[in-house]
Structure 1
Amino acid sequence: MLEFMDYVQAAFHAQSRWNRDNSYASLTTTAHHLLDFPIPHGLRLHVSSLSSPNFATSYTLGSQGVVDGSLSFLYTSLGLSIPSRSSAVHLGNLVQGYRHLTALRQPEVSRLNEVLRDGEKAERKDALLYGRLYLPTSTLEALYLRRISPARLLRLACVSDGTLPNGGSILAVLQNDFGKYSTEYLYSTDSALFGVRGLYNFGHDPRFPNPRSASRAPAHPWDHQGGRLSAGAEAYFSPLNKSGGISTGLRFTTLPTHTGFPYTMTLTLNPLMGNLSSTYAVKAGPNLAFCSRFDFNVYSYESDVMIGMELWQRQQPAADVAWATALLRPDWKRVEANANGVLKARVDNHGKVGLLWECRVKELLLSIGAGFDLKKTERMLGSVGMEVSYSS
């Protein structure tokens, strides 16, 4: 489940009209949410508040081994009109599951981001500033987001920790989203790492929004199948370590115009390491999604397989919750806002199992999870934990 500050940051991206899915870094987001969900460790309590549309605070207290916690503060120049009470936040905005991608759009300045300067309209360059102090280690992390233009976002992430080389590191990322394609340029002070990423979307070009202009762009067969094919790559190099890497990937996902079951397929390749990974995720019903991932190394011939699922529990309009009926309902595209909870599960070929139940109980949000190792007969139960969240 998203922490409150991550929820606010997602709202900043959405309200400033930034498409987080049009990036090479998010190519395998759907499979990551369904298979790599974190399992809580010990007991952790989150208390958060959106005291104004521009300012938020959050406090965390944990008891894993020793008492630890953190203090978080967030400010944004863009007033956020979102529900903040834990009893009012839609559970689907907090639980990361199957990711439905929408049609591409041309970068534009929304009316909310327009200001008047000398009687003329001008775009607002909204910003977000976030800081978090971890106790008792005194580790400090900070994040700065700046909407430089409708098609450009600057991201600065900093960490200050005495255990790190040079006492910390800074990561700068410049993201460009032109709808049809996107690029990213990054630099990290850790090993002086340079990197570049890119993603290209085949088919419809949002830069030609009207039919007359669209006639200049050749029609693509995927435009008629309710899906989108995307291809991307990344490369990075560190002159200090004299090391680098490259990777490339493909993704095909269905769009809202698709008449069948929504599904997403990805294929990624790291030629230097010889790693090949393929994923397939399908939304089998309004409350059920499955995902599988196959990893293979062409040098060592080692392989890994993992499968996972998520099952939503929703409140029916005229009756109590009926799980079996929800699974077999034919109108699987219907969006229901009354979500009570979601069950996530995964298992791999090494016998490791993960279970996670996330739900709302009156004014509280709960995340309860456990990990198992089926090959350890004496101690199958691994990590167990629960997180309790409250926000106002």
Structure 2
Amino acid sequence: MLDFMDYVQTAFHRTSRWNVDNSYASLTTTSTNLLDFRIPSGIRLHVSSLSAPNFATSYTLGSRGVVDGSLSFLYTSLGLQVASRSSEVYLSSLVRGYRHLQELEKPGESRWKDLLERGQRKDALLYGRLYLPSSTLEALYLRRISPTRLLRVNCVSDGNLPNGGSLLAVLQNDFGKYSTEYLYSTDSALIGVRGLYNFGFDPRFPNFQPASRPPAHPWDHQNGRLSAGAEAYFSPLNKSGGISTGLRFTTLPIHTGFPYTMALTINPLMGNLSSTYAVKAGSNLALCSRFDFNVYSYESEVVVGMELWHRKQPEAEVMWATEKLRTGWARSDADVNGVLKARVDNHGKVGLLWECRAKELLLSLGAGIDLKKRDRMLGSVGIDISYST
């Protein structure tokens, strides 16, 4: 489940009309959400508040052998009109689950011109978090430079790190049809570049698209989207680098069958290959599988997982089908009781997570199980309790 500050940052991206899914880094977001969910450890309490449309705070207290916690503060020049009370926020806005991608849109040049004409500043976000008792400090700066460009700077200050900390700067460009990213990290002076290209529909020239026609098969660009991308990075200090490439196909709202997403990523230098398949099998169920293989060592790993939504009303299937027919995809989760996530791999490791709302509180309860350890099968167990106003 997203913590409160991540939820506010997501609202910033949405309000400023930045498409976080149109990048190479998000190529495997769906499978990551369904298979790599975090299992809580110990007891952790989160108290947060969006005291003003531009300012948010969050406090965390946990116990995992020792008492620890954090203090977080966030400011944005863009007023955010979003639900902030934990009793009112949709669970679908907090649970990292199956990603429904929408049609590509042309960057908002008209909105950008309106802001400049009214003398308003470009959208920006500042975020800081202090961890206790380690005194580690992390910070984030987001800046919308233009309709197609976003600057992101992440900083960490920690005495245990080389040089006392590190900085990562990423310049992202989103032109709809394709996107690029350029990054630099003070850690080993790492430099890198990423790119993603979407086949088919070009949102920059919507008037020059072929005439509307019934899709011939699921791979038709009106029915789904095929994307290809790659990344390369190099460290002049360590004289080392790497490359990777990937493909993704996902269905769009016009697709009349079950939504699904397929992705393939390859790291040729390391010999790693990863293929994933996820399907939204109904209003309440999503399934996902991932196969990892290394051509040099012949080692492989298989992980399968599921996401099951529990609803109050038995007619949820009818509500989901009706809304999908009306809007292209469904998000009728006002009647959601909770979400169960589960995964298991070929090594016998099982992960379970239950996320729900209990009156004014949001709860995440999880456990890790190792089926091969007969004497100690139960591993990490924990619960996260969140309250926000």
Taking structure 1 as the reference length, the TM-score comes to: 0.93
Contact 1:285-1:329 at 8 Å conserved across structures: no
Instruction: Indicate the residue corresponding to 1:209 in structure 2.
Output: 206
Change (3 A) 1:307 1:138: same
SS of 1:96's equivalent in the other structure is coil
Instruction: Indicate the residue corresponding to 1:274 in structure 2.
Output: 271
Matches for 1:1-392 after TM superposition, within 5 Å: 1-109=1-109, 111=111, 114-115=114-115, 120=117, 124-210=121-207, 213-214=208-209, 222-223=219-220, 226-316=223-313, 322=314, 331=321, 333=324, 334-338=330-334, 339-392=336-389
Distance 1:248 1:112 in 2: 33
Deviation at 1:110, TM superposition (A): 6.1
Contact 1:285-1:328 at 8 Å conserved across structures: no
Distance 2:113 2:130 in 1: 31
Contact 2:77-2:124 at 8 Å conserved across structures: yes
Deviation at 1:99, TM superposition (A): 0.2
SS of 1:84's equivalent in the other structure is coil
Distance 2:63 2:113 in 1: 42
Counterpart of 1:240, as a letter, is L
> Per-residue displacement from partner, 1:257-307 (whole Å, max 9, x unpaired)?
001110000000000000000000000001100000000000000000000
SS of 1:12's equivalent in the other structure is helix
Q: Aligned residues, how many?
A: 377
Q: Gaps spanning 5+ residues in structure 1: where?
A: 317-321
Deviation at 1:23, TM superposition (A): 0.2
Q: Gaps spanning 5+ residues in structure 2: where?
A: 325-329
Distance 1:288 1:121 in 2: 46
Deviation at 1:114, TM superposition (A): 3.0
SS of 1:311's equivalent in the other structure is strand
Deviation at 1:109, TM superposition (A): 4.0
Distance 1:180 1:276 in 2: 26
Q: 127-136 vs 337-346, which deviates more?
A: 337-346
Distance 1:298 1:181 in 2: 31
SS of 2:269's equivalent in the other structure is coil
Change (3 A) 1:131 1:209: same
